[in-house]
Amino acid sequence: MKVAKFGGSSVANATQIRKVGDIIKTDSTRKCIIVSAPGKRNSDDYKITDILIRLGNAFKNNVSYEEELNIVIDRFSEIIEELELPPSILMDIEESIQGVLTNNNYSTTMKLDALKATGEDSLAKILSAYLSSIGLESNYVNPKEAGIIVTNDPGNAQILDESFQNIYKLREKDGILVIPGFFGYTTNGGLITFSRGGSDITGSIVAAGVKADLYENFTDVNSVYTVNPKFVDNPKEITTLTYKEMRELSYAGFSVFHDEALIPAINEQIPVCIKNTNNPNLPGTHIIAEKKKDEKCVVGIASDTGFSSLYVSKYLMNQEVGFGRKLLQIIEDEDVSFEHAPSGIDDLSVIIRESKLTSEKENNIVQRIKNELNPGTVTIQKNLAMIMVVGEGLMNTVGIAEKATAAFSQADVNIVMINQGSSEVSLMFGVEKEDLARALQSLYSAFFD
Ligand SMILES: Nc1ncnc2c1ncn2[C@@H]1O[C@H](COP(=O)(O)OP(=O)(O)O)[C@@H](O)[C@H]1O
Ligand SMILES: N[C@@H](CC(=O)OP(=O)(O)O)C(=O)O
């Protein structure tokens, strides 16, 4: 039995949805289908989820939301019409959205989550009707009915273990099951969404729950590439990756697959395959538990921007018991999480995502460090990009760091920070944002050309 997730680009319009129908039709083992909300039809287009968020914010701020509502309804209306489905489906979708807007029992954050979810929910209803119209036995299954139970963290739901035994029961249901991605329900029945891109997470949860033989993730690229194609033309494709490698790469910026999405699949050792809806016969990229012996030691180079480095120095820091804990406690008190914390004898840097650090939090953190930890220096460097060179072979290959640093030097890029991940699957470099493209191109040449 397979679980197949189709991303926003795969369901952006009626043409794409027809391709999805063909893919499902050609393999009767594709039992559970997870869908996203319609994504971009071209690079200048918008994602329905983004419009729903704008709609929710307009509603919250008591300003007109007609324009956003019309964009959403028009997109679904066009898809339904082109697929020649009954207009009653559009009425149902409109009612659901209006029902969320007028429901006074929701808190503001829960209303936003419920609105966001209407994108995937509506598309699942449409796809299920379309599959029936082409002669397949298909049923729409709401995540509540599927038993997807999550924590009460709006916009950042985490799956609860009890879900998996509920989901296993889906195996007994007849026909193809079309489940909207991106959201679940709390034990009290409240609708909560995962973080952005979270339909990948639903797919993995369902694959783990039904103990699928394969989790297929259909998107708009032929495979996972060795580097983000935005930075290098025609980068080499990756044929196989281990779970560990993919997790590091997606965490570090390979947005093709959500970094939280691998965890349920890993727990049940379900192989994952990334495939292209527009080229479904190509093999795609396989994500598996163990690496084959003859593969390259570096499999990919990921990158992400929007980081700050909080740098603290103090002589004999290494001998001061509890210094690291006190520093991290100050950051925790501001409700800020950190990404990395490389340290030396007399200094420590804490790498934080800029999206988590408001200027008020930043001032509080710096002030408290100055007052409570008596440091030599405290500075915050902004606009950093992180580059991660990833591969399980890194562990026992000599000279990788040398090759990487030579590539930075050839590109005339200053390395702000280096950190070898404790897992030894990744080597991380911090650079200034404007040096990122140059650094990536040079690293790509060094490791893959
Ligand atoms: N290393 C990479 N390999 C492949 N795609 C990548 C990589 N890094 C970033 N991407 C981007 O990820 C996109 C696919 O992810 P996403 O937009 O979430 O798709 P979907 O709409 O199917 O969910 C690709 O179009 C590509 O631009
Ligand atoms: N539609 C949601 C969830 C999702 O997974 O979308 P996509 O498959 O287009 O990345 C979002 O935009 O966040």
Domain stops at, among 234, 264, 288: 288
pLDDT at 424 over 80: no
List the residue whose alpha carbon is closest to atom 13 of ligand 1. 256
pLDDT per residue over 73-110, tens digit each? 999 999 999 999 999 999 999 999 999 999 888 888 88
Please check whether residues 311 and 226 belong to one and the same domain.
Answer: no
Please check whether residues 218 and 307 belong to one and the same domain.
Answer: no
Residue 47 C-alpha to ligand 1 middle, in angstroms? 14
Please check whether residues 353 and 254 belong to one and the same domain.
Answer: no
Pocket of ligand 2 (CB under 6 A): 7-8, 36-37, 39, 47, 49, 119, 181-182, 196-200
* Ligand found nearest the CA of 43: 1
Q: Which residues pair with 381 in a beta bridge?
A: 309
Contacts of 192 (CB under 8 A, 6+ apart): 110, 113, 150, 151, 152, 153, 154, 155, 157, 183, 184, 185, 186
pLDDT per residue over 7-21, tens digit each? 999 999 999 999 999
Indicate the pTM of the whole model. Answer: 0.92
- Dihedral sign (CA 221, 226, 231, 235): negative
Is 0.95 exceeded by the ipTM?
yes
Residue from 226, 256, 301 to probe ligand 1 pocket by mutation (most atoms less than 8 Å from CB) = 256
Within-domain flag for 293: no
* Ligand found nearest the CA of 156: 2
pLDDT at 296 over 90: no
Please check whether residues 312 and 201 belong to one and the same domain.
Answer: no
pLDDT per residue over 196-233, tens digit each? 999 999 999 999 999 999 999 999 999 999 999 999 99
Domain that holds residue 316: 300-448
Q: How many domains in the chain?
A: 2
Give the H/E segment covering residue 97.
Answer: helix 88-102
256 lines ligand 1 (CB under 6 A): yes
Residue from 19, 219, 238, 257 to probe ligand 1 pocket by mutation (most atoms less than 8 Å from CB) = 219
Give the largest CA-CA distance in the chain. 73
